[in-house]
């Protein structure tokens, strides 16, 4: 099995790529990757400081918002972060050639 990487892409307006970076899989933890996606989304979308605070306070409190929630769109191999409008950042696991690696499928 070859080396694996996190490929992080930032997209604005669904078609405009604004960021593309590859990081070796073992050089960042899942928690660090999620925080990185939040940071990139906050900066790229120019979120006001109050909205960033709202993304970090407890859910269902008065100030809470979902602007920087990290979601799994690719079970086992990826994460996505960004508000409903603006730039979104997606991290997926890729091989040395940049091809997405799908998680192993369970036996039927």
Q: What is the pLDDT along the chain (108 residues), one digit of tens a residue?
A: 689 999 999 999 878 999 999 999 999 999 999 999 999 999 999 999 999 999 999 988 999 988 899 998 766 668 999 877 789 999 999 999 999 887 665 555
pLDDT at residue number 95: 92
Q: Do 78 and 72 meet the contact criterion of CB atoms below 8 Å apart?
A: yes
What is the pLDDT at residue 75?
A: 64
In a domain? residue 62: yes
- The answer to whether residue 90 is domain-embedded is yes
What pLDDT was estimated at residue 103?
A: 66
Q: Is 16 within 8 Å of 37 (Cβ atoms)?
A: no
Q: What is the pLDDT of residue 1?
A: 62
Question: Can you give the pLDDT at residue 38?
Answer: 95
pLDDT for the residue 72? 87
CA 14 to chain centre: 15
Is residue 87 included in any domain, yes or no? yes
Domain-embedded: residue 101:
no
The CA distance from 62 to 54, in Å, is 9
| 108 in a structural domain | no
Expressed as residue numbers, the domain containing 47 is 5-94
Please give the tally of structural domains in the chain. Answer: 1
Note the pLDDT of residue 36: 97
């Amino acid at each position: 099995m070859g080396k694996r990487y996190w490929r992080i892409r930032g997209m604005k307006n669904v078609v405009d790529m604004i960021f593309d970076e590859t990081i070796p899989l073992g050089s960042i933890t899942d928690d660090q990757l999620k925080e990185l996606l939040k940071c990139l989304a906050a900066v790229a979308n120019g979120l006001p400081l109050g909205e960033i605070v709202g993304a970090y306070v407890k859910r269902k409190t008065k100030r809470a918002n979902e602007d920087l929630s990290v979601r799994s769109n690719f079970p086992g191999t990826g994460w996505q972060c960004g508000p409903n409008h603006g730039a979104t950042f997606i991290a997926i696991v890729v091989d040395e050639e940049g091809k997405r690696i799908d998680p192993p499928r369970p036996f039927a």
